[in-house]
Amino acid sequence: MDDFFTEKHKTLDRLARIANLIAWGSLVVFGLYGITQIVFAIRELATPSYRDFLGNNPWQVTNTISYLLTPLLRAASYWVFLRGISLGLNMILEIDLNARTRTDAVTYE
């Protein structure tokens, strides 16, 4: 059974696992970064001078919201992209293994 996986299969499996680990790592890192940005923004909103600044500049509210959401959206997009790569590589690996199993079963019968 050890010779069932070729080097190509092992490489595809290894790349899929690496993509999956990087996906979760980026989700954690960028998620924590986004949460800390939100916490700092809430602290800054508590100051009267910043609330006055936002009141005088209505577009600054939009800039602040986009600044706060960027790390969270980046985390989600990296996670979706890398999980898609991981799942795609696993699907290719499974299709190849299923095709190989079928051809082996036909040749042995």
* Domain-embedded: residue 91: yes
Q: How many domains does the chain have?
A: 1
User: How many Å apart are CA 67 and CA 108, to the nearest integer?
Assistant: 62
What is the full per-residue pLDDT of the chain (109 aa) written as tens digits?
A: 456 678 888 898 999 999 999 999 999 999 999 999 989 888 887 788 877 877 788 788 788 888 889 989 999 999 999 999 999 999 998 898 888 777 766 665 5
The range of the structural domain enclosing residue 41 comes to 8-108
pTM above the 0.75 mark?
no
* Domain-embedded: residue 2: no
pLDDT of residue 59: 84
pLDDT of residue 101: 75
* Domain-embedded: residue 85: yes
pLDDT of residue 1: 43
